[in-house]
Chain A
Amino acid sequence: MNPVLNLSAAPHVRDRWTTKFIMYAVCAALLPATVVGILVSGFHAFLVVLVSVASAVVTEYLFDRFCHKEDTWKDGSAVVTGLTLALTLSPQVPLFLPILGSFFAIFVVKCCFGGLGKNFVNPALAARCFLLISFGTAMTSYGSVDSVSSATPVALLMTGRAVNITKMFLGTANGVIGSSILALLVGGLFLWAMEIIHGEICFSILLSFTLFMGLFGGQGFDPYFLLAHLCGGGVILGSFFMASDYATSPVTKLGQLVYGILIGILGALFRLKSGAADSFSYSVIIGNLFVPLIDMYIIPKPFAYTRKAIAARSHEEKLPLLRRIPRPVLVLTVISVIAGVALSGVYAMTKDIIEEQKRAAKRASYKSVCPGAADFETDPEIDLYLEELDGEPYGMTFGRSTINEFLVAKDENGAIAGYVLNVTSADGFDGDIGIALGLNRDGMLNGISFTSLNETPGMGMRAAEPAFKDQFSNKAVSSFVLNKSGGSSADNEIDSVSGASTTSGAVVNAVNAGLDFFHTVVKGDG
């Protein structure tokens, strides 16, 4: 009796967890958010998810076939990529977007760089950013849910308006398919409890994001403000399901902390300064790109070589306090303190200068629309009226246009030279459009100038060019009409900037709001 026996090197037992198991566990954790997203957004969202996952798997399958690779499409990682991508898409996207995105994620970002574990950024996120840049309009049109507005909560938040946190938490607010914070948290905490994702990453992101927001967000540690920012813009999805992706996060615990803090701070910085609601994706991608560097330099010392171990061996167990703190922690703390002090110092020093410059720029643009003006004065009565409006949109027919300021321009002799109105439209393609209207003493429009304009370069930004802007100059009309087909002849017709009818419409609405305000409120015609 001598059976044929297998020979192999130790270990002869293996843990039950396999690559496949981990991948499907991640899928399972994404499921609650997917289901809520589909329930809230409807059947099309289901199609988006289905198409995204299927095209990811098919892409990997075809790559395996044509490159004669092993069947890696079965390991579930393509499903994770497809599913995560779908969750970052608006429920209304045309179906070619998830197909293109999944192809980009799997083929370009993953397979071309060596497949599982070798991609340099998170494939789903890279695909999302690729789609965002290439198909901006389709990617950022949200909201059949809340037909009143089409902006996501973060976009609202960034323009200083109120959001409904409960809705965001449940996932019924405007946004991507995977926007239910509750469902995402259920999945994310499940993965963390299973020790599939590293708490070092997700919690350091959330913590540093919150801290930075509180310190530099300008609203202090207001729980409403912080919660709204945490719940919006994919922070939860990004930290639990994207930043924690194994291939593009550091292997060591300390590296993971550094990486998480980096993403958190970048995310908050972008959120505060960039004006783009989707900026969290970019901060995770930048974090991804730092991973090889982090892994190259942050290597933990084996237990035998830590300071404490060496001290214990040489029986000098009492170290001074500073030397008992691991050096990287000390260095990181010192760096962050220095950076924090420097940041707040620069902020404090430049705050007044920046304010002054803003005021000067505003005056210059007021003067440009009101020739002959030497000084501007407020009108107490009108100001009282404006206070009553309290930043609410003016009128019913001008979109979301707000009257901010009304000034009476005086010439050098103190006589009335004209009037200036500052109007903001929130209907711009990307953030608010600020417009200064200059009127002469008789109420004729001298012209307009932009106090803020962040539209798409080459499209909406062309509203600032004379070809569009000067159409408003020297017109004695009570309202304008937007002509999208061009070739306007009437005084009150404005030719739209081609390809930027949203921007053009917002400008016309804002100007009309200003004119209406002038005629009905200031002059009291109505």
Chain B
Amino acid sequence: MNNTFRGGIHPETHKSLTRDLPLRPVEAKGEMVFPLLQHIGKPALPLVKKGDAVLVGQRIGEADGFVSAHVISSVSGKVKAVEKRRVQNGQMTECVVIENDGSYTSLEPYDSRYDVSHITGEEILRRIRDAGIIGLGGAGFPTHVKLSPKDPSAIRFLIANGSECEPYLTCTDQLMRTESAAIVEGLELMLRLFPNARGVICIEDNKPEAIAAMQAAVAGRQKLSVLPCKAKYGQGGEKMLIETVAGIFYPASMLPADVGCIVQNVCTIYAIERAVVYHEPLYRHVFTLTGDTVASPGNFIVRDGMSFAELLEAAGGLKEGACPRKAIVGGPVMGMAISSLSVPIQKTSSGVALVSVDESEVGQSKMTACLRCGRCATVCPVGLTPQMMADAVSVGDLERYEKKLYGLECLACGCCGFICPAKRPLVQMFLSAKAEILSRKRAQAGGKK
């Protein structure tokens, strides 16, 4: 199989826990929390205040500027408060708190198709923005911004990312199996924005059912194709997908659009289809609840704003006597550990793994001195030499880190940190070095003014 990228790792996937379990809707009870900042960009501005009544699909946060996104209520009920709450990244963020009345009274039924045969590109972008759609792969970049490159005619590839390379997660797999037609329709709608682009759906070859379903759905459509990729962690990265499809690896100073590519997660594409064809805003999405402590793991359709604890309870709770040591949101290689299950599920939460063993815990993987084995360099998808970068960081030579070793190119994909036999905190070192360099640059630029 040649459809792959350079580098990458093969962690234990743990996907067999949930890979064949169909998507199940789960209803929320009680209090719902909607952070106003779930995306990259400026936080949304609250549109409601305490005591206001809201409906399902109602906009409760208004995007502040172009690089921002609306926030949508997923339930009907009363606004309890607009206040700072702890969210999944561990920070206190301004949130709209809604008491769910349990009736799910909707603004619109979202079940009838609108005619999209003559829809303009502008209209599509407006619908996407109105629906509050952001990148559902985890980063949360506002989708309407990503779909508005300077020169739409220069886009050659519209890449649908169905690789789902993070261990544990299987909800995208299930979505592709069941909603392949909708995903293809979403992709075709997006293609209207880019006259010279072809749509390529990349799926790792460990999901043969999804590949078959998508292949059946694209059959007969000339501008679309399915590209089965080698199953390897890192495949879902934007740069790695573009390398796989277009054979180009671009530097950090460029955007995908600069090399004629745009990448969207298939979950995002599905949301686009719902938004454009059914006028349904983004208030629910697919989610994998898994891990060895969960009584009945599975793939769910969850409403934004419900807490992880509530979902766990609705899904059947923990195994008898099991106690999770760590809760990892968004996959264990790049995802984040959450401090408490009472934080809300937000748009970018693609799954949670409640695991009984924390592999990065001291004692189970004790750090030793660097062996200089060079494994990190062989798995780096960017072609960096993490060993040398870590050396430079540890002696404080940020000049070498940036100029000689191209340290700012690091994607923090976690491959080097995973493979390191000495268990060194490589990714953390690089993130802190990058932050330090960028803040120095900002200070310099500020000084010049």
Chain A residues near B (Cβ < 8 Å): 1-3, 5-15, 17-19, 21-22, 72, 75, 114-118, 196, 198, 246-247, 249, 251-253, 295, 299-306, 309, 312-313
- B-side contacts of A302, CB under 8 Å: 249, 251, 382-384, 406, 409
Given the interface pairs A7-B90, A299-B404, the reply to whether A304 lies near B421 with Cβ below 8 Å is: no
CB <8 Å contact, B369 and A115? yes
CB of A313, distance to nearest CB on chain B (Å): 6
Whether a CB of chain A sits under 8 angstroms from the CB of B405 is yes
Chain B interface SS verdict (over half):
loop
Interface residue stretch chosen among B27-35, B45-53, B105-113, B323-331? B323-331
Report which of A6, A19, A304 forms a contact with B325, defined as CB distance below 8 A. A6
CB of B274, distance to nearest CB on chain A (Å): 30
Report which of A5, A75, A303, A312 forms a contact with B337, defined as CB distance below 8 A. A5
CB <8 Å contact, A12 and B247? no
CB <8 Å contact, B385 and A304? no
Give complex CA distance A481, B33 in Å: 106
Interface residues of B in 1-47 (CB under 8 A from A): 6, 9, 11-12
Whether a CB of chain A sits under 8 angstroms from the CB of B148 is no
Question: For A10, A117, A309, which residue has the most chain B Cβ atoms within 10 angstroms?
Answer: A10
* B412 and chain A: residue at smallest CB distance: A10
* A5 and chain B: residue at smallest CB distance: B327
CB <8 Å contact, A19 and B337? no
Whether a CB of chain A sits under 8 angstroms from the CB of B248 is yes
Chain A interface SS verdict (over half):
loop
* B376 and chain A: residue at smallest CB distance: A251
* Given A303-B243, A313-B248, 6 other A-B residues pairs in contact with their CB atoms under 8 A: A1-B309, A5-B338, A12-B358, A12-B360, A14-B420, A17-B419
Give complex CA distance A274, B403 in Å: 43
Sampled A-B contacts (30; CB under 8 Å)? A1-B313, A2-B309, A5-B324, A6-B325, A10-B334, A10-B414, A10-B427, A11-B427, A12-B328, A12-B333, A12-B358, A12-B359, A13-B12, A13-B167, A13-B359, A13-B418, A14-B365, A17-B421, A19-B421, A72-B369, A251-B377, A251-B387, A253-B377, A303-B243, A304-B251, A305-B251, A309-B248, A309-B250, A312-B247, A312-B248
Report which of B358, B368, B372, B412 forms a contact with A6, defined as CB distance below 8 A. B358
Report which of B11, B248, B374, B381 forms a contact with A251, defined as CB distance below 8 A. B374
- A-side contacts of B368, CB under 8 Å: 18-19, 72, 75, 116
Give complex CA distance A15, B426 in Å: 14
* B362 and chain A: residue at smallest CB distance: A8
Whether a CB of chain A sits under 8 angstroms from the CB of B388 is yes
- A-side contacts of B317, CB under 8 Å: 1
CB of B436, distance to nearest CB on chain A (Å): 16
Interface residue stretch chosen among B173-181, B275-283, B339-347? B339-347
* B410 and chain A: residue at smallest CB distance: A302
* B426 and chain A: residue at smallest CB distance: A11
CB <8 Å contact, B90 and A19? no
Question: For A8, A22, A114, which residue has the most chain B Cβ atoms within 10 angstroms?
Answer: A8
- B-side contacts of A12, CB under 8 Å: 326, 328, 332-333, 335, 337, 358-360
CB of A404, distance to nearest CB on chain B (Å): 52
